[in-house]
Amino acid sequence: MKFFNSLLIIALLGLPLSTKELTTAETLPLGDANAGSNLVAQCAACHGAAGASINSDWPNLVGQGQQYLFSQLKYFQGGERENALMMAVVPYLKNLSDQQLLDIAAFYNSQPTSVGQAKDDQALLARGEWLYRSGDLNKGIPACTACHGLSGMGLEQAGFPAISGQQVSYLQTTLKNYRSKSRNTGEYASVMQTVAVNLTDADIEAVANYMHGLYSQ
Ligand code: HEC
Ligand code: HEC
């Protein structure tokens, strides 16, 4: 699995095989969504009772994939990923076991996905769709579909997050954080740093608007 993921990422990014090998988390045991539902009272204020946030700056957690959610919770717990608002719950996360973090990940992953509405601006939508589906070869931007899927559902087993319906302002902030390398937690972040390095602010606005309105049928 580990080997498979590494090769997959290298192939998708078109990187030569000599590039630093990327490793991913070992295949995880599954969490217990029911147990997780009892651990998230403090999270609802920002992420909603079922992981659908009500503020464009705060990420939805629904359906992002267990492995991805678990990895991010570990980063926050360990202080590697930092955010002023998440700081409030880091002491709480520090008291949780890996199994409890997995249970939280399972809970949010099991909740029904929320629906967003892309801005109805034809030029912006066209640019966003084109970038998402095809990338921009001349600028060295790979297609997002390669890893996040045509409808934005990600690739659960590989730990590639779903981005379908994600909050627009959060998407923009986090893509800019990858671009500036300030989001720098784990080897997967370096994949996204490579993806984001050549995106302009206008590209980010367009692709974020498209992802916010992207759903599987
Ligand atoms: C005061 C608001 C607030 C509270 C309370 C809060 N969060 Fe967050 N959370 C955020 C913000 C803002 C981010 C985005 C951080 C960033 O940009 O790096 C975030 C990010 C996350 C992420 C990463 C999402 C992603 O898409 O990468 C996870 C997972 C998460 N929070 C889980 C939790 C859990 C579990 C709790 C409760 C124990 C919690 N949060 C409580 C505001 C909050
Ligand atoms: C080679 C695979 C790959 C490609 C291509 C790719 N991504 Fe990603 N993406 C990932 C992985 C892996 C992560 C998780 C990174 C981490 O752990 O920080 C991720 C994370 C993200 C996140 C953060 C999600 C969150 O909830 O915080 C966004 C937004 C994103 N990608 C958007 C894009 C966009 C837009 C494109 C196309 C321009 C793209 N990705 C292309 C693999 C990829």
Instruction: Express each pLDDT in 58-96 by its tens digit.
Output: 999 999 999 999 999 999 999 999 999 999 999 999 999
Give me ligand 2 centre to Cα 89, in Å. Answer: 25
Between CA 38 and CA 103 the distance in angstroms is 9
Topology (CATH level 3) of domain 122-212: Cytochrome Bc1 Complex; Chain D, domain 2 (1.10.760)
Residues within 6 Å of ligand 2 by CB:
9, 12-13, 59, 64, 71, 131, 141-142, 144, 146-148, 160-161, 163, 166, 171, 174-175, 186, 188-189, 191-192, 195, 207
Supply the pLDDT for residue 29. 80
* pLDDT confidence bin for 3, thresholds 50/70/90: very low
Across the chain, mean pLDDT equals 89
Q: How confident is the model at residue 4 (pLDDT cuts 50, 70, 90)?
A: very low
The arithmetic mean of pLDDT across residues 3-30, rounded, is 52
For ligand 2, atom 41, the nearest C-alpha belongs to 144
* CATH class of the 33-110 domain in this structure: mainly alpha
Mean pLDDT for the stretch of residues 90-108: 98
- Read off φ and ψ for residue 141, nearest 5 degrees: -100, 120
Ligand 1 contact via 105 beta carbon (within 6 Å): no
Question: One fold for both 33-110 and 122-212?
Answer: yes
Annotated domain spans of the chain: 33-110, 122-212
Average pLDDT (37-57) is: 95
